[in-house]
Amino acid sequence: MAKFSVSERFACTVLGQHRSAQRKKPRGRPDEEALTADIIRLASRYGRYGYRRITAMLRSEGWIPRGILGSAAPVR
């Protein structure tokens, strides 16, 4: 932005971005690629399974600890 001598606020307004998008680096899991590969593997093998069943399978494989996706109590 110094190259074009415009403010960060103006540049972000023109681009339609929020200013915090320029400051914060996106965080991800260190093993994001391996997790994505396992999701694709399970979805390819069990094509009719939904996200809940795939998530349960990932949990059983040790990927996602209980409670990380939401804190809602199970409905009985």
Which of 6, 8, 28 is CA-nearest to residue 17? 8
**CA-CA distance, 27 to 38, in Å (whole number)?**
20
42 with 54: CB under 8 angstroms?
yes
**CA-CA distance, 55 to 61, in Å (whole number)?**
10
The letter for the amino acid at 57 is: M
38 with 62: CB under 8 angstroms?
no
Mean pLDDT to the nearest integer, 27-46? 90
pTM value is 0.55
**CA-CA distance, 13 to 28, in Å (whole number)?**
27
pLDDT digits (tens, 9 = 90+) for 38-64: 999 999 999 999 999 999 999 899 887
For the chain, the domains span 1-25, 31-65
